Structure formats: structure tokens, C-alpha cells
Amino acid sequence: MTMDKPYLDVPGTTIFDADQSAKGYHLNQFCMSLMKPDNRARFIADQSAYLDEWELSPEQKQAVLDLDLNECIRLGGNIYFLSKIGATFGLSFQQMAGSMTGMTEAEYRDMMLAGGRSIEGNRIRDALAARIVEQGYAAPSPAAEAHPTISASVYTSHVPAIGAAMDLGKTEEPYWKAVFDGYEWSRQWMADNTPDVVILVYNDHATAFDLHLIPTFVIGTGPHFPVADEGYGPRPVPPVEGDPDFAAHLAQALILDDFDLTLVNEMAVDHGLTVPLSLMFGERPPDEPWPCKVIPLAVNVVQYPVPHGARCYALGRALRRAVESYDKPLRVQIWGTGGMSHQLQGPRAGLINREWDNAFLDRLISDPAGQAEVGHLNYVEEAGSEGIELVMWLIARGAMADIADDGGPGAGTTEVLHRFYHVPASNTAVGHLVLANHAAQDPASGPAAPTQE
Ligand code: DHB
Ligand code: FE
């Protein structure tokens, strides 16, 4: 991966990053189980038997049995998790830290009393010098040439009843046919332009996240995302395959770009994510995989404060920088989902504002920076309380090539391939756009196309 990891050269130090986390996932989760007294008692009674309940490698099991914390760390353990093993045996943090240094407990304690380990001889250059003496000098390999391209962005409502209509074979009924007709072109186009990865912006609807934890922006860094049971049983669609390596790269790039994403390795995905997949890829039995990988990007639009449009738009621009700095030539699409106008609550439920919705679509296409400045209250007042989902569309729009990093005009262009609007689906106005992305020096894209329809 393209991730810059200068921290690998800090001597005697392992930084717990996405690679380490993936390596040590089950080891660290085993450690967490020791937070419960019953589990500690079972572990102490028969360590091997307890360890066999966890998906650990033989090396990881042995490292735990040996209480070899250095080896546990090499195998993906993190010290805050591993400390639960030490705590189970009554060890202090000082005893645990000392056990990794090759010193006796007394020697380590004395070193700390004498002012601690010296920084002299413990800098990056010391580790590099030691490595050159050991292995000789190797020039850094040249940077890889191939990077992902964002080929398109897709925008769509994600009404759960649309998924139910597909799952229950009702798509030919007149009520639903009027909705699905608007996606026919898109399905054909998608079949001809299937991406390798979709970064799918959606909101979780009290499914993976409840009031226990309310992250503003979430990136799914895990390998699989099961289809959630939202109370009706899980939808009969395939589970979602992630792209942990690409997601870890995006997380690093975005977090270092000051977007404080929450990293989620395990999460069930709800209708917000699966209905757009069904709309764009059509019916698919659970055992036939979706045709591409999906990186979930969830946004809190449930409990206020929710991020404003300008923040979402800026995240989209940062997302493009992050995508384009990865070192595999992937075809990537960004999808923005939710909306359009709908209100699911209270005496104003059923609110639809066609004029506002269509002005939103116009502005999203030709003046996204202006739309990004529109405040929450305008969405709620004009498009209904759940119409606030539309701020998520600005993330996908911000990633397009006609927008510069600073939000001004970009060097590339964006072309409207498809636009659809229909009322109603359940309580909602359905809106749908497909925008092709023509990067500035993209030879495949042909002549620059206008941003207007
Ligand atoms: C509906 C729409 C949504 O976006 C949603 O998340 C739940 C329900 C609806 O119109 O029924
Ligand atoms: Fe929704």
C-alpha cells in the first residue's frame, strides 16, 4: 500500500496501525474477554482450553501461554489489550513493560528510578544506522505509477420499501414499476461500467450504532459487512465485501487531512447501504456476490449535531485526494445516498417538496459549492426532517473532478449521464443522478464535457 509509515523505523517500537490491528484482531478481542471475572476464572483454570475458543494462530496461542508480550505485539497485539492478560495474573504495568526489555524486574525499576531510559541511542537514526550495518544500504524503491481513478458518482434515495419490493417480487406492480423504470438505464450502464470499488456514503438508521455511541463519520475497514436484521429479518441479498487495505489507506489519508473518521472493523449494514446496491446491480441471491467491493462511509444524520453540508463537501474533496494517492489502478465510484424530501415523524409526516428537491438536484450539479453553504434548517424546513440525509450527497459531489481542492473550479469536468425524480416511494421522493467524472488528463474520457445537463 502507499501508506507512508515512517514510524516503522522508531527503534524497539511497534505502532498499532491498521495492519497490526488486522493481524491481531482475534488476539486483542481475546484479551478484551478477560474484562469479565468469569472469563478470567475460566482462563486461569485452563489456559489452553480457553485459548482454543478463539481464532488465534498457533504462534499467538503460544505467545500468550508464554506471556511473551514482545511476541504478542509482533503478532498484532496492542499493549492496552494485552495488559488484560497481565492484569489477570496480577501484574502491574511496570512489571509488564519491564518484561519486554530483557531486564530483570529490579533492573527495570532501578532504571526508572534513575530517570528512565535515555533517548540517546534510541532515535530513528540509531535504528537506521543499526539496520544499514546489519543489512547494507538499499535505495528506496521508486514510487508506483498506477493510482485509482474515480470514474463516476452515483446519487440515490435508499428507501427500505424499495428493497422490500425487490425482495418480495413486486417490482412489476404499477406503484413500484414507476420507481424501477427510473433505474433501468443506470443498471445497464453499471453493468457496462462496473467499478472495482464503491465508496458508499450512507447513514446508519439505528442499526449498527445506537445511542451508546454516535460517530459522525465512519469508515468500514473490515473485510466483510453482514446484512443487518432491522427487525424484519435480514434482506435476502449478498453480504458486502470490503477492501481493508484500500480502506486503511483512505482512513490514514483522511485522518491526517484532519477528518477524524471512526474506524469500524465489524458492523452490520442496513437498508441505507443495501438498497442502493440492489437498485444499481439488480436482484441478486445471497450466495452470488455483489460485483464489486464496497467501502462503507457512514454519516450520522440521526442525532444532532449532524455535520453540515460544507463539511461533507470538504470531506468529498479530501476523499478524492485520498483515493488518488493509493497505489493500485482501481476503478472507483463514490455513491451518495438518502433523501430526497421525506419526513417520517410527527404530524408533518409525508412532506414532499418537489420544487425544492429539483432545485437541489440542479444546484448539486452546477453549483455544489453554493448548495454546500445551505444550512440544516433549510433542509429540515423544506425537505422534511429526514430530508437532512441529502447532505451526504455533497460528499460524493465534492470528490468530482470539476471541483478544485480549495472548492473553486477544478481542472476536470463532470457530465450528467442520468437524472430521475419520482414521487412517491413509501414516504419519500425518489431522486437519482449518475455523474461521469472526467479528470483533467484522462485520455479515456475524450473531449471535456459540460457540467450542465
Ligand atoms: C423511508 C425512507 C428512508 O430514507 C428511510 O431511511 C426509512 C424509511 C420511507 O420513506 O419509508
Ligand atoms: Fe434513510
- Same topology between domain 6-135 and domain 149-445: no
Atom of ligand 1 nearest to the CA of 386: 4
Residue 247 CA to ligand 2 center (angstroms) comes to 24
Residue 302 CA to ligand 2 center (angstroms) comes to 9
Please say if 271 is a catalytic residue.
Answer: yes
426, 430, 432: which to mutate for ligand 1, most atoms within 8 A of CB?
A: 426
149-445 adopts what CATH topology?
Answer: Protocatechuate 4,5-dioxygenase; Chain B (3.40.830)
Q: CB within 6 Å of ligand 1 — which residues?
A: 158-161, 205, 338, 342, 344, 386, 426-428
Q: Spot the catalytic one: 249, 271, 432, 438.
A: 271
6-135 adopts what CATH topology?
Answer: Protocatechuate 4,5-dioxygenase; Chain A (1.10.700)
Residue 94 CA to ligand 2 center (angstroms) comes to 50
Q: What is the pLDDT of residue 449?
A: 46
Ligand number nearest to the C-alpha of 425? 1
Ligand number nearest to the C-alpha of 431? 1
Atom of ligand 1 nearest to the CA of 272: 6
Residue 392 CA to ligand 2 center (angstroms) comes to 11
Q: Where are the domains of the chain?
A: 6-135, 149-445
Residue 301 CA to ligand 1 center (angstroms) comes to 13
Please say if 212 is a catalytic residue.
Answer: no
Alpha carbon nearest to ligand 1 atom 1, residue = 159
As a whole number of angstroms, the distance between CA 9 and CA 125 comes to: 8
Q: What is the pLDDT of residue 447?
A: 47
pLDDT in 10s for each residue of the chain, 453 residues: 456 788 888 999 999 999 999 999 999 999 999 999 999 999 999 999 999 999 999 999 999 999 999 999 999 999 999 999 999 999 999 999 999 999 999 999 999 999 999 999 999 999 888 888 888 887 767 665 799 999 999 999 999 999 999 999 999 999 999 999 999 999 999 999 999 999 999 999 999 999 999 999 999 999 999 999 999 999 999 999 999 999 999 999 999 999 999 999 999 999 999 999 999 999 999 999 999 999 999 999 999 999 999 999 999 999 999 999 999 999 999 999 999 999 999 999 999 999 999 999 999 999 999 999 999 999 999 999 999 999 999 999 999 999 999 999 999 999 999 999 999 999 999 999 999 999 987 555 444 445 544
